[in-house]
Amino acid sequence: MKSSMERRVVSLLGIWQLIDGVITIIFYGLFKRHQVSQLTELSYQNAKAMESLFGSTFIFISLFGTLLIGLGLFHLVLAKRYMKEDTTSKKWVVWLSVVSLFSLLVMDIISLILAVISLVLLVAKRQAIKKIRTNEYSRSQ
């Protein structure tokens, strides 16, 4: 099996996480904050309380969106630079398992599907490489 298949899936995962991070920051962060600032019928104290609450929420949402953008960039670099043709490292299997669990916890279904697909491809490739190497070893003896 060529490495290009799991590289493509990990690249798609990275692209989706970039898009998801930007959507999170722009829509949930800026748009929701703008909606709160347009509430004019509140008293001064209620408006300050709402601004304080949504200010903290905006910071959290922005940090989460930035985390998604960082993960997306990491996955793009991973797919481009570190995924080699005839090798699969155990650390990438562990990493994609962690990303799958994280995606499940935050209910990012698209990231979960892409991470699980790439995980299955990497595990299958590991098994195939292991089988080929044991056959080559047994033939040489």
Q: Do residues 97 and 119 make contact, with C-beta atoms less than 8 angstroms apart?
A: yes
Return the pLDDT at 1: 44
Return the pLDDT at 61: 85
DSSP 59-99: HHHHHHHHHHHHHHHHHHHIIIII--SS---HHHHHHHHHH
- Looking at the structure of the chain, the number of domains it has is 1
Return the pLDDT at 103: 94
Distance of CA 115 to the CA centre of its chain: 8
Return the pLDDT at 32: 65
Q: What is the pLDDT of residues 33-69, one digit of tens each?
A: 566 555 555 566 666 666 666 667 778 888 999 999 9
**Alpha-carbon Rg for the chain in angstroms:** 22
Residue 28, number of CB atoms within 10 A of its CB: 17
For tokens 């990012």, name the residue. Answer: 108
**Which residues of the chain are modeled with pLDDT < 50?**
1
Amino acid in the structure at residue 30? L
Q: Do residues 103 and 115 make contact, with C-beta atoms less than 8 angstroms apart?
A: yes
Query: How close are the terminal C-alpha atoms of the chain, in Å?
Result: 26
What range defines the domain where residue 47 resides? 3-140
